[in-house]
């Protein structure tokens, strides 16, 4: 009898080791790039909703500044805490977070990247926008905007974010590939370090000083469109002074972007779904923590299993319906 009891106890211990975690015992942390960055507000909302729907504990953390060193500190602190089961991180720059991502995985924490990837790390999943395609689509719309205008050359200024960030680099690469072999070429690139004030100041200064020397803006991120339309008087005046001047941006912010369309100072916006990023990161991590299979295709260009959170495309003709829907 005693031998039977010991055998049963051993079997139960083995089962306990491999049993799925109880939902209310799972803790997932999402890390944004910078505290207060409006881009991530919807991701945080999606995270909390998924946590409520799935009955797991979720937590949001972001550094005060968009710096890889500060994100690494957060990662190492989460590893040392010992109570975190899953981490989703939007990397300021992918390679700078590689070591801490790998360290978290080695410690038994499930890690996915979202928004901005760390393609050389051991993360298995990327949740977010197909950034190269978003940039390529932006280039295609830029070409369409200039069809039939018979301009000898179209000169484009580009607004970038953090130098070397994987998402922005992919978008710019896609944009440049789309406009190759056309009369459209980039003549200037300004990096705003993912800072709204720097973005507005840089765009305003260039539009004011070089108004006749370029024809269009490609905003690889929508930092200038997170505020009121009145914040960019120089750029608005530059845009309205000539009907052949165009602006295409990545990112849509439902509270502020429509006003730029209303004023005729924006032509196309390619919107990302940060809410879906937040929700699907939590959903994916819960499945991974419980040992479930996550169905996602491997994307050769990303180098990971890719969970596509989709995009919206708004133009002057349909922005009200697209953004409202």
For the whole model, what pTM was predicted? 0.83
- With respect to residue 301, please indicate whether it lies within any of the assigned structural domains: no
142/268 Cα distance (integer angstroms): 8
What per-residue confidence (pLDDT) applies to 11? 39
In this predicted model, what pLDDT tens digit does every residue of 286-323 receive, in sequence order? 999 999 999 999 998 888 999 999 999 999 999 999 99
The whole domain housing 172 covers 131-272+313-324
Q: Each residue of 228-246: pLDDT tens digit?
A: 999 999 999 999 999 999 9
**How many domains would you assign to the chain?**
2
* Paired tokens of 78: 């989460």
- Kindly report the average pLDDT of the chain as a whole number: 91
**Which pLDDT value is given to residue 204?**
98
Band of residue 12 on the pLDDT scale cut at 50, 70, 90: very low
Per-residue pLDDT reduced to its tens digit, 141-151: 999 999 999 89
Instruction: Answer yes or no: are the C-beta atoms of 62 and 37 closer than 8 Å.
Output: yes
Distance CA 92, CA 33 (A): 6
Burial class for 72, CB neighbours closer than 10 Å (0-12, 13-18, 19+): buried
Residue 40 DSSP class:
G
Q: Is residue 306 part of a domain?
A: no
Predicted confidence (pLDDT) per residue in 96-131, tens digit: 999 999 999 999 999 999 999 999 999 999 999 999
CA 256 to centroid of chain Cα atoms? 18
Residue 299 inside a domain? The answer is no
Residue 161 CA neighbour count, 13 Å, CB half = 31
Residue 178 pLDDT level (bands cut at 50, 70, 90): very high
Q: What pLDDT is attached to residue 24?
A: 59
For the cut 50, the answer to whether the pLDDT of residue 182 exceeds it is: yes
In this prediction, residue 164 carries a pLDDT of: 87
SS3 track for 253-321: CCCCHHHHHHCCCCCEEEEECHHHHHHHHHHHHHHHHCCCCCCCCEECCCCEEEEECCEEEEECCCHHH
Interior CA angle at 258 toward 250 and 222, to 5°? 25
Backbone φ and ψ for 4, nearest 5 degrees, come out as -65, -40
Structure tokens at 158: 């580009």
- Do residue 214 and residue 241 come from a single domain? yes
Q: Kindly state the average pLDDT of the residues 19-47.
A: 84
136: left (phi > 0), else alpha (psi -120 to 50), else beta?
A: alpha
CATH of the domain at 58: 3.40.50.2300
* DSSP class per residue in 160-227: E-STT-HHHHHHHHHHHHHHTTSSEEEEEEEE-TT-HHHHHHHHHHHHHHSTTS--EEEESS-GGGGS
Residues 161, 189: contact at Cβ < 8 Å? no
Residues 157, 37: one domain?
Answer: no
Say whether both 318 and 177 belong to one domain: yes
CA dist., res. 166 & res. 90, Å (int): 10
Give the pair of three-digit tokens for residue 273.
């779904």
* pLDDT of the residue at 91: 95
Q: How sure is the predictor about 66, in pLDDT bands with cuts at 50, 70 and 90?
A: confident
Residues 146 and 260 in one domain: yes
Is residue 102 domain-resident?
yes
For the cut 50, the answer to whether the pLDDT of residue 2 exceeds it is: no
The answer to whether residue 305 is domain-embedded is no
Rounded CA gap, 125 and 248, in Å? Answer: 29
> Are residues 70 and 114 both part of a single domain?
yes
% the chain with pLDDT above 70: 93
CA 310 to centroid of chain Cα atoms: 11
Q: Which helix (H) or strand (E) covers residue 58, if one does?
A: strand 57-61
Coil, helix or strand at residue 279? helix
Domain identity same for 115 and 160: no
Distance CA(29)–CA(99), nearest Å, equals 18
């Amino acid at each position: 009898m005693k031998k039977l009891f010991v055998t049963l106890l051993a079997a139960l211990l083995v089962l306990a080791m491999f049993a799925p975690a109880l939902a209310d015992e799972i803790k997932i942390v999402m890390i944004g790039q910078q505290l207060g960055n409006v881009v991530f507000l919807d991701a945080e909302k999606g995270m909390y909703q998924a946590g409520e729907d799935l009955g797991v504990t979720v937590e949001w953390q972001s550094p005060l500044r968009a710096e890889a060193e500060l994100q690494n500190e957060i990662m190492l602190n989460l590893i040392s805490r010992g109570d975190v089961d899953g981490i989703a991180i939007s990397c300021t720059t992918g390679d700078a977070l590689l070591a801490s991502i790998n360290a978290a995985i080695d410690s038994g924490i499930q890690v996915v990247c979202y928004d901005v990837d760390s393609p050389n790390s051991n993360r298995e999943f990327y949740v977010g926008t197909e950034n190269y395609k978003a940039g390529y689509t932006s280039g295609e719309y830029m070409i369409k905007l200039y069809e039939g205008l018979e301009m000898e050359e179209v000169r484009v200024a580009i607004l970038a974010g953090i130098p070397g960030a994987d998402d922005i680099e992919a978008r710019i690469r896609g944009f440049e590939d789309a406009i190759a072999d056309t009369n459209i070429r980039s003549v200037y690139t300004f990096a705003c370090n993912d800072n709204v004030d720097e973005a507005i100041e840089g765009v305003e200064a260039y539009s004011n000083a070089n108004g006749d020397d370029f024809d269009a803006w490609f905003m690889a991120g929508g930092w200038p469109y997170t505020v009121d339309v009145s914040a960019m008087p120089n750029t608005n005046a530059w845009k309205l002074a000539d009907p052949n001047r165009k602006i295409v941006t990545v990112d849509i912010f439902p509270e502020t972007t429509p006003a730029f369309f209303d004023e005729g100072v924006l032509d196309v916006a390619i919107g990302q779904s940060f809410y879906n990023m937040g929700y699907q990161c939590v959903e994916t991590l819960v499945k991974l923590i419980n040992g479930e299979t996550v169905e996602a295709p491997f994307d050769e260009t990303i180098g990971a299993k890719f969970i596509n959170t989709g995009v919206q495309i708004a133009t002057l003709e349909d922005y009200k319906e697209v953004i409202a829907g």
